[in-house]
Amino acid sequence: MKTGIQDIDTTIDTALEAGFRHIDTAHAYKNEEAIGKSLKRWFDSGKIKREELFIVTKLPSSGNRAENVEKYLKQSLENLQMTYVDLYLIHQPIGSFPELDSDGNRVLDPNTDHLSIWKAMEAQVDAGRARSIGVSNFNARQVKRVWENARIKPANNQVELNLFFQRKELVAFCKALDVTICAYSPLGAPGMRIRKHKGDPSKIDMPITHPVVLKLAEKYKKTPSQILIRHSIQRGVVVIPKSNNPERLKQNIQVFDFVLSTEDVYELDFLDRGEKGRALQPFGAMSKGRAIAFQRSEPGRQRGFRHHAATSPLARPSTQSNKHPGIQTRFLDIKSDSA
């Protein structure tokens, strides 16, 4: 299901009125222009100022070359009707060629060079087009290589993370480097799981319907989604749960009025299943066809990538204006598909 311009207007309006301030999008989501128009209405009305928002967008995989970084960021800024973004991410660790093959598959670029791309990303900070820069879908080895060679350190790594796929090692590794973790699909992508199994949602094994989560929802008088969101927040993870439903958006931000006990956090921690807990394929499916996957042994080179789209909002202004707002964030997620 595609998110139309009118839907984005409704979602943005509901989110900003509820207190969301962090908006996460990407060139690949094809909704930057609609988001830009929607936000301009708010800016023109005087209800909110640009500096009150934390805007994130991403370099597409087809732009994973040093010479393309500035072009794509300028295009995103034009779409968003802004002069800068607060955080610019390399969306995928592997680049692709713009053209599809004869079978409609995306062809991956084996010569993706993280270090040259990163230097071009740093130049965007120098030019004032990005306040901070980071990565998405990078593993620990890839993060380390960029971090060790960076003049401007990566501020954030946005990855898939949910109750069944808690990524404890990656979270700890990034925290040690002062790289925040932002979780997409933090509810475990229930819509994706239901479509994948084509069964009764009540019988599909997923975080949002797990007995422990339901038990804690009853205990705290909260929704299962709120329990999952709160668990990630208490782990120090930024979360951007997807929802275009106004009522669920309002519920998703109502997670700052309770705290899970140490015992309850431990019980939820114990539900981690590692790689088996992924809701999405490693780097996922492309919007057209499937990526041709391959494995390279060189540092910083991996296979595949995924396509999704998002927005999220801040609870309070960050104390570090050039960094990802971390666990101070309140969150919203607008996606261009129904994952």
Residues acting as catalytic residues: 29
- Six token digits for residue 75: 């295009």
What DSSP character marks residue 19?
Answer: T
Alpha-carbon gap, residue 60 to 231, rounded angstroms: 30
Alpha-carbon gap, residue 255 to 224, rounded angstroms: 11
Strand partners, 135: 90, 157
**Cα dihedral 213, 215, 217, 223 sign:** positive
- Tell me phi and psi for residue 188, to 5 degrees: 90, 20
Give Cα separations from 128 to 64, 79, 86, 157, 163 (angstroms).
20, 17, 10, 21, 37
Alpha-carbon gap, residue 258 to 227, rounded angstroms: 10
Alpha-carbon gap, residue 230 to 226, rounded angstroms: 6
∠ Cα 217 219 222 (to 5°) = 35
Alpha-carbon gap, residue 305 to 106, rounded angstroms: 10
Give the helix ranges, DSSP H, for the chain.
Answer: 5-18, 32-45, 69-80, 114-126, 140-149, 168-176, 190-197, 211-220, 224-234, 246-252, 262-269
Query: Do strands 95-100 and 106-109 pair parallel, antiparallel, or not at all (unpaired)?
Result: antiparallel
∠ Cα 168 171 175 (to 5°) = 140
- Tell me phi and psi for residue 19, to 5 degrees: 115, 0
125 within 8 A of 133, measured Cβ to Cβ: yes
77 within 8 A of 83, measured Cβ to Cβ: yes
